[in-house]
Amino acid sequence: NGTIITTPGFVESWGGRYLTSNVILNSDTGTAMGERYRFLRGERTVLTFGFLYDFDDASPLLTVERVEDVMQSHWFRRVLRGEDGDFDAILVLAHFDVEHPLVNDVLTEIRRVCGKTLPVQFITGHTHYRGFQQMDEFSASFEAGRYLDTIGFVSFPYSNSSAVTERVEKPNDEHNDVLFQHVFLDANVDFLRKSLNIMPDEFDTDLGEALSQFIEDTQQSMGILDVIGCAPQKFEIEKRMNETGSLWQLYLDEIVLNELLQHDTGAMFMQSVDWTFRYDLFQGNVTVSDLISVIPQDFVIYSIAEDIGYSTLKELISVINAEKSGYADDKLPRFGVSAVCEMDQNQHCADDDDVKSYHLYSVDDNVQYLTDQLHYLTNRTFQPQEVFVGSQEYTVKMLWEQYIGNNWSCDKQTSEYFDGVTKSSHFSKGGFTAVFISLVALLLILLLFKKRSRAKKEMYMYPDRMIIPTDVAEDEIFGKDTTISSGSGVIV
């Protein structure tokens, strides 16, 4: 938001730590919005830059200079030559992918001016995944996840350290020490506490506990902790679409298919995978808050056209998925597709345009792009229309709510039920026996828990998990050789 960041006092409040190596103010030509660079001084000095990728549609109040142009500028080369101060390493904070070509471009220019052995550490972002790349022996690039699911830690050397000097003087020898190290820390309280080796009663602060309680009270008052269903397993955002437990497979092959396309004999839905889902969906209770975590931005569903030939749609898919998505290792295509089609005599989708026309759906963020591509392929003009349920816009979040409500009942937590989401929910004779045995085993476990728990200590059993009072030691309840699972039930 250009208005906010150009408000007098905002940049200044950072005390020279707001780095904008390639963002300038249009109101004062040539003046950087923040600092072009900064020296981090301690026992050693680290020269630090902050780059934004080549961004075309910035606020009219700002101009984002091309990174390639900045590297040829007088000020950039002057700083690298050490004319503004000496330094022992370079840190580049970069809002682009860990393996983006600009990383190599910036490193090449630094190497040209500063030599081949100066340590250079890139800390990148933008594409929202955990990534690391060793650029050369004395440089590395690192990206630490997304949306605070990861706290990244990097360690890199300085120019005249013994490890660097040894490599420079003996380049052909084997070296056991690692110059560039990194760690991905899961951003949850228990993991961070254990990483710091701090006891639970020493980790929380009064202010932190008060803030957590305030957040929970607010959530309760808004109803976003209400349970809308129980997930049979964990569904992960970065799994490939054909992998078990893929969030995208669940969405396209189950939710869209059963809630949006089920009444069409020939229909197709397309949606960009980038920035659609933000988080994994975990096994057990699914609350309104969980759904918001997965889909913070809702999308309105549109009908693009009702008479598109299947061969045209196949060509469209080929065109829109020719580019890569923002996911690492090309795990996901750029666009996800769900389809219901009319079968020909060979039980294949009828691909003869004279035989069948298809109804194409998408979401508001993708409508213009898909419409433009279809116009290019067919030379036809399309007028997409919002899809309504009564007087209400039909949205992606509504699809999820409907599917979870219809299929993930918390009263039916059995494997047969979840296997039957797309098949049958009736128990077989063997299935009934298995459920009966499971119930007996559960009763025995409950009796054991009751016997072993202290007086006036309560344990609350929910369909998806067990919550233990924090002042009761785990081995006091379960025994020292017992493992607690974070999903459904307990593994002994």
Give the mean pLDDT of 128-141: 92
The whole-number pLDDT of residue 384 equals 96
Lowest mean pLDDT among 19-28, 74-83, 299-308: 19-28
Q: Say how far apart CA 335 and CA 331 lie, in whole Å.
A: 12
The whole-number pLDDT of residue 353 equals 56
Give the mean pLDDT of 344-354: 60
More confident residue, 58 or 484: 58
Give the mean pLDDT of 209-224: 95
Give Cβ neighbours of residue 468 (< 8 Å, ≥ 6 apart).
459, 474, 477
- CA 246: distance to chain centroid? 13
Mean pLDDT of the chain: 80
Distances (CA, A) of 429 to 211, 232, 412, 423, 426: 52, 22, 17, 17, 10
Closest alpha carbon to 288 in 188, 402, 401, 399:
401
Q: Say how far apart CA 152 and CA 132 lie, in whole Å.
A: 11
Token pair belonging to 7: 């408000």
Confidence of residue 329 (pLDDT cuts 50, 70, 90): low
What phi and psi, each to the nearest 5 degrees, are found at residue 64?
-95, 110
48 by DSSP, 3-state: which? strand
Whether the CA torsion 106, 107, 112, 118 is positive or negative: it is positive
Residue 455 has pLDDT above 70, yes or no: no
Closest alpha carbon to 351 in 360, 340, 342:
342
The whole-number pLDDT of residue 483 equals 27
Give the mean pLDDT of 210-226: 95
| Strongest mean pLDDT among 350-359, 379-388, 482-491 | 379-388
Q: Say how far apart CA 463 and CA 461 lie, in whole Å.
A: 7
Residue 414 has pLDDT above 50, yes or no: no
Token pair belonging to 62: 């700002």
Closest alpha carbon to 235 in 299, 288, 297, 294:
294
Q: Looking at this protein, which amino acid is placed at residue 444?
A: L
Place of tokens 């070296």: 175
Place of tokens 């110059």: 179
Q: What is the enclosing helix (H) or strand (E) of 92?
A: strand 89-95
Residue 3 has pLDDT above 70, yes or no: no
Give the mean pLDDT of 330-349: 76
- CA 129: distance to chain centroid? 6
Residue 89 has pLDDT above 60, yes or no: yes
Residue 458 has pLDDT above 60, yes or no: no
Give the mean pLDDT of 244-269: 92
More confident residue, 23 or 435: 23
Lowest mean pLDDT among 172-181, 254-263, 381-390, 416-425: 416-425
Residue 346 has pLDDT above 70, yes or no: no
The whole-number pLDDT of residue 423 equals 34
The whole-number pLDDT of residue 59 equals 82
The whole-number pLDDT of residue 29 equals 64
Residue 421 has pLDDT above 50, yes or no: no
Q: Say how far apart CA 371 and CA 378 lie, in whole Å.
A: 10
pLDDT tens digits, 193-203:
988 899 888 88
The whole-number pLDDT of residue 167 equals 87
Give the mean pLDDT of 89-113: 95
Confidence of residue 170 (pLDDT cuts 50, 70, 90): confident
The whole-number pLDDT of residue 481 equals 31
pLDDT tens digits, 372-402:
999 999 999 999 999 999 999 999 999 999 9
| Percent of the chain whose predicted confidence (pLDDT) is above 70 | 78
Give Cβ neighbours of residue 20 (< 8 Å, ≥ 6 apart).
32, 33, 34, 35, 36, 50, 52
Give the mean pLDDT of 336-357: 69
Q: Say how far apart CA 189 and CA 185 lie, in whole Å.
A: 11
Token pair belonging to 374: 């279809």
Residue 370 has pLDDT above 90, yes or no: yes
The whole-number pLDDT of residue 282 equals 94
The whole-number pLDDT of residue 1 equals 57
More confident residue, 77 or 345: 77
